[in-house]
Amino acid sequence: MELSDANLQTLTEYLKKTLDPDPAVRRPAEKFLESVEGSQNYPLLLLTLLEKSQENVIKVCASVTFKNYIKRNWRIVEDEPNKICESDRIAIKANIVPLMLSSPEQIQKQLSDAISIIGREDFPQKWPDLLTEMVNRFQSGDFHVINGVLRTAHSLFKRYRHEFKSNELWTEIKLVLDAFALPLTNLFKATIELCSTHANDASALKVLFSSLILIAKLFYSLNFQDLPEFFEDNMETWMTNFHSLLTLDNKLLQTDDEEEAGLLELLKSQICDNAALYAQKYDEEFQPYLPRFVTAIWNLLVTTGQEVKYDLLVSNAIQFLASVCERPHYKHLFEDQNTLTSICEKVIVPNMEFRAADEEAFEDNSEEYIRRDLEGSDIDTRRRAACDLVRGLCKFFEGPVTGIFSGYVNSMLQEYAKNPSVNWKHKDAAIYLVTSLASKAQTQKHGITQANELVNLTEFFVNHILPDLKSATVNEFPVLKADGIKYIMIFRNQVPKEQLLVSIPLLINHLQAESIVVHTYAAHALERLFTMRGTNNATLITAAEMAPFVEVLLTNLFKALTLPGSSENEYIMKAIMRSFSLLQESIIPYIPSVITQLTQKLLAVSKNPSKPHFNHYMFESICLSIRITCKANPEAVGSFEEALFLVFTEILQNDVQEFIPYVFQVMSLLLEMHKNEIPSSYMALFPHLLQPVLWERTGNIPPLVRLLQAYLERGASTITSTAADKIPGLLGVFQKLIASKANDHQGFYLLNSIIEHMPPESVDQYRKQIFILLFQRLQNSKTTKFIKSFLVFINLYCVRYGALALQEIFDSIQPKMFGMVLEKIIIPEIQKVSGQVEKKICAVGITKILTECPPMMDTEYTKLWIPLLQALIGLFELPEDDTIPDEEHFIDIEDTPGYQTAFSQLAFAGKKEHDPVGQMVNNPRIHLAQSLHKLSTACPGRVLSMLSTSLNAEALQYLQGYLQAASVSLL
Amino acid sequence: MPVRKHDQHMKMFKNKGKDETTLRRQRVEVSVELRKAKKDEQILKRRNISINFKEENPSLGHGRAAEIIQPSLEEILEAVNGEDSQLQLLATQATRRLLSRHKDPPINQIIELGIIPRMVEFLGRADNAALQFEAAWALTNIASGTSEHTRAVVEGGAIPAFISLLSSPHMHISEQSVWALGNIAGDGPIYRDALIARDVIPPLLALVSPATPLGFLKNITWTLSNLCRNKNPCPPLDAVQKILPVLIILLQHEDKDIISDSCWAVSYLTDGCNDRIQVVVETGILPRLVELMDSPDPIVLTPALRAVGNVVTGTDQQTQEAIDAGALTVLPRLLRHARSVIQKEAAWTLSNIAAGPSHQIQQIITCGLLPPLVEVLDKGDFKTQKEAVWVVANFTTGGTVDQVVELVRSGVLKPLLNLLLVKDSKTILIILDAISNLFLAAEKLGETDKLCLLVEELDGLEKIENLQNHENDMVYRAALGIIDKYFSGEENTDLEPQTGQDGLYDFSVEKKDFNF
């Protein structure tokens, strides 16, 4: 492409088309541009257009296109074509800085981004004159230009804030410092001087303050990795000026906007960050300046208003004080009683107030409000910062601070009492203050776990919280109601149980409140109370204590789901689940109505599942209903199937992916409830479960395997008699799973069920093939996980079919295979098997090989007898070997798609651990002793002689212990 | 910069590669430094300005010293190049005086005069001791400047001249030569080895005797330390072996400057590969070094700690020797030392001991190091905290489950989690690594839930969650990994006693080794 007018014209037309709303016009134009972007001069044409085009829209479009082009193509990736030829690269680098600086702001930003992308690749080696070119512009006196340079520098240098220290990085920083630090410092001083010369010129001040903000940001980036020599030498200049900027105010810079932070706020905020950086990392050098900053920042806080636009500044400033007051050598700065009082009074209390913005969120954006208030995503809020400061101060001054605040709390409560409807916010602040003062440690699961002993929480509860909740009108003062409920929730471990019992009916009552926050908090509080544990790990609140409230609890919970805004409220659904779990059989009378409501809900949300937590707890609740009811009355399973299968069918037919894994789990649970033969309704579904499409989704695999296992457990003979032709398909699933390193253990779960439950003759013809598959995998990609599963499987096989059968099938695949597996896999790896049941299966299997397999006694395999016995004793006595071979350390997480994230396991659909050798063998050590005894009776002398010649002494000692315990001896 | 041999890539994988990594971090010189030069290092070159005027001109008092007529540079040049010995002496003396003044000695101007070769010539004038001495002094002070200044002296041919003057019958001349050679050796490995190649060591060592005056002995010790100093390359092994026996004797001296410089020398010799450390360890000097580590005087303590710290970067056996010498019993006091640089060095030393096998970690516990470790983690300055984080990371990597439990019991978790707020990506990553290690231990004990609660109570969960927004990709991944593995779906664990596995057999691999 030549740099011709014709080409410029063509490009202009295509660029224009890329702005067309009609995709039929837009797409081909985009495609065209992409097809020519590899041509020489293409980027230069774009640069020409963005500079010279007559139409502003084309200028902007060209600049965006250019930026994206650079982003896609500038980096040279090995083995991929380099789309930008060298001469274009040189031309771009030569022209872009002046072009950026002379462009209007909109275009300047795009070009500045492009420069930083190029800089990331080429700076400093391949773009040595960039810095000088930029620094030279500082002299220009044109702050439009200077700000362009500063902005570009900021985007180039901000990575110093998060990258790891390395010689390469530090070489770059050193280079930047050498060229940039002094000019930046001079610019800083000059800009501050200009600010006072132009103190009465609003528009000049705005430009100058934008520069100061960028300079302060650059200071942060350049000082982040370590304290550079230059800045240490010039600390006086920087810190003195930062300090005076913190205390500066100018009416011309104040903005009317309440929400958006103005230039002054942004600058002061950044200065707080800079001071915090120095205080944290360069304490020794910064110490002389720190007290001044503490005073300035504290004064700043006292004089800053309540508007939202100050939030970031205030929270940064408070966090600075909070981090300093905890450090022992600055303790003295806060020690004085007047200082403490003043901080409490003027900094903490005002920032804890419930503001208009909070009130708005409470009413109109409850979800966000709850998230912030309950789940602690309130990091940047003022209240949170104030709370942190309280906790920081309490580290050294718990007594005095508690004393100061107690006075405040009392006076705020008195204000409230005078006129509740006007002064309710005072009470809100009082409760918040008590909460932040009292809580020293907190978790979601237990609420507050460590409290300030100087605060009497129960007294406050009885006198100030309960009365609000007892009020007959649930919709009055919703904020105070929410505060009260939250108080119960977080101090549940501090308030005595009898008070909790008093509050339970009150909480149930508040499930009816119109305010979303209030009824959500009520549900959440109940849910939390129901999880509390008392002695013996039993729930603190018992089903018996709840008996009088069962009906109203269930009614109100389900009613709350019909309140506006709460139709998929996860807190309510979780409370339903928890209530079922606590109440157990006392919910049975209400099940018909409950299950109807749950299925209706399920049907409704399956149209568009959008709240994963809500859905999860809904399925948990369904599982609980089934479990609880069928435990008392197994026949009831039929009525559940009747209620649920219709919706399930619809879910499966519409392929509602989010719900399918849940459906399989609920079906497994239902199927396992059947005591007799598998119902035909299930058998009809069986072939569909083997459909490959289902197995392609990783989230389906665990629940599907689980469901197939339930089929095998309950219906192996039915499958054999009515669906024998599906057995290869079933084994196909096994093969699919075994091929994957991520899912092979699921394949073994399935295989184990097949071996355990299917009649031997039904799988006879496939057995050899199964082993061949396993051996292939063993040979090609052996992993520790695979070996562990494999060992358990072959031992289970041995238990089920006998040791001789195992030896025969191995050796029929390849001569001496059995010995090879013993020697290379079983003996060296058996120590890796983990899990009680798994170890037991292996112990019984190996015992059988040792004592019930004639070839072990009289062929070349005999030499493996002692090593195998020794390995078995090791399995009994040595700690598990959890080492992993080196090469397996490098299996990346990303290589194995996880199901843990995709698959949501239902806790209440879980099955009990199954022990296939449970009935046969109780104590495997004794079983070994008895089996050896039997063997030695069959061939007297042989066992003893083998033992005495080659078993190591320690193992022998253990073995003698087993023989003694079994009261047998060897002949 | 401390460098961890641990490949960073390892962090991307869930399981730690315990066996194939060694966690010892040697003191590696950084080629790039942003900070001011360190203040606690031994001085490399020294100018001779302290010798008083009385000695050179006893008849003149202080008041009259100023009256000495100082010739101009031109006059100096002329006199030095002339043939009149008296004038030569006066001019050389004048030169020396210029170079000895307190402020701004005109080293460059003197070099530019081009009189260095002539001065070197004067060094050989055995017939004129005064001239030899003045020339030696002047050259000493030129060599005390920048590398360029030193080079001017060396290129003037001063090395052999000074080495032969070591054996001068006049003690003050031989002492001045020792000083000059110290400055030359201090310039760097090239001149150091040039001196060694010219056999500087035997005559230098010969000067050490019980009769050597204290001041002289101090100079010799300092020069010896410079001959041991610097890496890339290290000083030749046979030179080291010659110097070591004398250093061992000097370490027993009662003067603290001599001890200090000898300690520095040992610290340089141990700052290198394990073979070099072995040479020092074999002398049996460790118990003395450990004793000196406990000195109340920082000028002794600092290099002694440095030397012991270097030894424990070595093999397990070398580290064990330092432990057997009692290093761990002194470290608690050093971690609580009033000076933060010493706390930092002590923590660095401890981090390398914690990188050892579990029986050494056990000794860390037995010697009561956990409480002071927690203290520095909580209240130390940032550099010390960073080193303390390494201690915890190494400890949790190599420690047994019981040892890790002991560490948690000492209260390490709270300050460790607080440090997740530091403004240093690498430190954050190491903390996350240590936290993962704690969880692995908790898993083995079946106490994952308990640890989860503890982490949450101490506001750690919130901090880790926030790190999922960290700009640094590795930090983000590590935080995400911990949240994913231990804090997502924690609800399920507290639900029901019969919470079942989804399969017939719980291989537990599904939890542990899921990523294979």
Q: What is the DSSP letter of A447?
A: E
What tokens appear for A960 in the block? 């003698």
CB contact under 8 A, A753 and B504: yes
pLDDT band, very low/low/confident/very high, at A594 (cuts 50, 70, 90): very high
Cβ atoms B356, B18 nearer than 8 A: no
Nearest to A705 among B19, B503, B514 (CB): B503
Neighbours of B205 (CB within 10 A): 16
pLDDT (mean) for A393-401: 89
* CA-based nearest residue to A416, from A468, A365, A453: A468
Q: Search chain A and give the residue with CA nearest B511.
A: A900
Q: Search chain A and give the residue with CA nearest B483.
A: A901
Neighbours of A5 (CB within 10 A): 9
- Which residue of A272, A280, A912 is the best one to mutate when testing the B interface, meaning the one whose CB has the most B CBs within 10 A? A280
Please report how the helices A924-938 and A865-877 are oriented relative to each other, as an axis angle in degrees rounded to 10: 160
What tokens appear for B200 in the block? 């500087």
Chain A residues whose CB is inside 8 A of the B7 CB are none
The pLDDT of residue A649 is above 80: yes
Nearest to B500 among A785, A895, A912 (CB): A912
The structural domain count of chain B equals 1
The pLDDT of residue B9 is above 80: no
The answer to whether residue B128 sits within a structural domain is no
pLDDT band, very low/low/confident/very high, at B67 (cuts 50, 70, 90): low
How far are the Cα atoms of A463, B314, B349, B372 from residue B325, in angstroms, in the given order? 65, 15, 14, 20
Cβ atoms B228, B235 nearer than 8 A: yes
Chain A residues whose CB is inside 8 A of the B15 CB are 884, 888-889
- pLDDT in the model for residue A893: 30
The residue type of B260 is: S
Average pLDDT in chain A: 89
How far are the Cα atoms of A31, A64, A189, A770, B136 from residue A23, in angstroms, in the given order? 12, 19, 53, 54, 88
Chain A residues whose CB is inside 8 A of the B475 CB are 162
Q: Could you identify the residue written with the tokens 């630090």?
A: A181
Q: Search chain A and give the residue with CA nearest B36.
A: A229
pLDDT digits (tens, 9 = 90+) for A28-50: 998 999 888 889 999 999 999 99
Query: Measured between CA atoms, how close is B311 to chain A, in angstroms?
Result: 25
Query: What size, in residues, is chain B?
Result: 516
Is the pTM value of this prediction over 0.90? Answer: no
The answer to whether residue B26 sits within a structural domain is no
The residue type of B408 is: V
The pLDDT of residue B510 is above 80: no
CB contact under 8 A, A900 and B498: no
Sign of the torsion formed by the C-alpha atoms of A759, A764, A768 and A770: negative
- pLDDT in the model for residue B425: 93
The answer to whether residue B447 sits within a structural domain is yes
The β-bridge relationship of strands A439-443 and A447-451 is: antiparallel
The pLDDT of residue A900 is above 50: no
CB contact under 8 A, A164 and B516: no
Q: How far is C-alpha A598 from the geometric centre of its chain's CA atoms? A: 29
The pLDDT of residue A200 is above 50: yes
Which domain CATH number covers B468? 1.25.10.10
- Can you tell me the distance from the alpha carbon of A262 to that of B476, in angstroms, rounded to the nearest whole number? 31
- Can you tell me the distance from the alpha carbon of A352 to that of A429, in angstroms, rounded to the nearest whole number? 6
Nearest to A745 among B13, B453, B510 (CB): B510
Q: What is the DSSP letter of A539?
A: B
- Which residue of A120, A223, A281, A436 is the best one to mutate when testing the B interface, meaning the one whose CB has the most B CBs within 10 A? A281
CB contact under 8 A, A228 and B34: yes
H-helix or E-strand containing A442?
strand A439-443
Q: Search chain B and give the residue with CA nearest A324.
A: B379
Contacts 24+ apart (CB under 8 A), A14-22: A15/A49, A15/A58, A15/A61, A15/A62, A15/A65, A16/A57, A16/A58, A16/A61, A18/A61, A18/A65, A19/A57, A19/A61
CB contact under 8 A, A228 and B35: yes
CB contact under 8 A, B507 and A229: no
Three-state DSSP class for residue B230: coil
- pLDDT in the model for residue B47: 82
- Which residue of B341, B505, B510, B511 is the best one to mutate when testing the A interface, meaning the one whose CB has the most A CBs within 10 A? B505
**Burial category of A836 from C-beta neighbours within 10 Å (exposed 0-12, middle 13-18, buried 19 and up):** exposed
Q: Search chain A and give the residue with CA nearest B430.
A: A164
- Can you tell me the distance from the alpha carbon of B150 to that of B135, in angstroms, rounded to the nearest whole number? 15
- pLDDT in the model for residue B95: 94
The residue type of B195 is: L
Range scoring the smallest mean pLDDT among A143-147, A435-439, A473-477, A852-856: A435-439
- pLDDT in the model for residue A912: 63
- pLDDT in the model for residue B3: 31
pLDDT digits (tens, 9 = 90+) for A939-951: 888 899 889 888 8
Three-state DSSP class for residue A793: helix
Query: Measured between CA atoms, how close is A613 to chain B, in angstroms?
Result: 10
CB contact under 8 A, A837 and B484: no
The pLDDT of residue B8 is above 50: no
Nearest to B500 among A224, A838, A911 (CB): A911
- Can you tell me the distance from the alpha carbon of A835 to that of A915, in angstroms, rounded to the nearest whole number? 11
Mention every residue, 6+ apart, whose C-beta is less than 8 A from residue B43.
none
The pLDDT of residue B42 is above 70: yes
pLDDT digits (tens, 9 = 90+) for A836-871: 888 999 999 999 999 999 999 888 899 999 999 999
CB contact under 8 A, A705 and B12: no
pLDDT digits (tens, 9 = 90+) for A151-192: 999 989 999 999 998 888 999 999 999 999 999 999 999 999
- Which residue of B502, B513, B515 is the best one to mutate when testing the A interface, meaning the one whose CB has the most A CBs within 10 A? B502
- pLDDT in the model for residue A885: 57
Report phi then psi at A533, rounded to 5. -110, 140
* CA-based nearest residue to A516, from A691, A367, A628, A407: A367
Cβ atoms B464, B420 nearer than 8 A: yes
Query: Measured between CA atoms, how close is B445 to chain A, in angstroms?
Result: 13
* CA-based nearest residue to B228, from B275, B274, B180, B276: B276
What tokens appear for A498 in the block? 């009898």
- pLDDT in the model for residue B485: 84
Reported ipTM exceeds the 0.90 cut: no
Query: Measured between CA atoms, how close is A178 to chain B, in angstroms?
Result: 10
H-helix or E-strand containing A864?
none
Nearest to B499 among A376, A789, A910 (CB): A910
**Inter-chain CB pairs, A–B, below 8 Å:** 205
Query: Measured between CA atoms, how close is B387 to chain A, in angstroms?
Result: 13
Cβ atoms B339, B373 nearer than 8 A: no
Chain A residues whose CB is inside 8 A of the B20 CB are 886, 889
Average pLDDT in chain B: 84
Three-state DSSP class for residue A449: strand
Cβ atoms A8, A49 nearer than 8 A: yes
Q: What is the extent of the structural domain holding B374? A: 326-488
**Residue B117 preceded by cis peptide, ω within 30:** no
Q: Could you identify the residue written with the tokens 């006066």?
A: B90
Q: Search chain A and give the residue with CA nearest B463.
A: A379
The pLDDT of residue B198 is above 90: yes
Cβ atoms A484, A435 nearer than 8 A: no
The pLDDT of residue B497 is above 60: no
What tokens appear for B410 in the block? 């000492």
Chain B residues whose CB is inside 8 A of the A579 CB are none
Cβ atoms A803, A853 nearer than 8 A: yes
Query: Measured between CA atoms, how close is B5 to chain A, in angstroms?
Result: 14
Q: Could you identify the residue written with the tokens 């006694």?
A: A857
Report phi then psi at A556, rounded to 5. -65, -35
The answer to whether residue B208 sits within a structural domain is no
Q: How far is C-alpha A109 from the geometric centre of its chain's CA atoms? A: 35
Q: Could you identify the residue written with the tokens 């089903």?
A: A543
Q: What is the DSSP letter of B483?
A: I
- pLDDT in the model for residue B504: 21
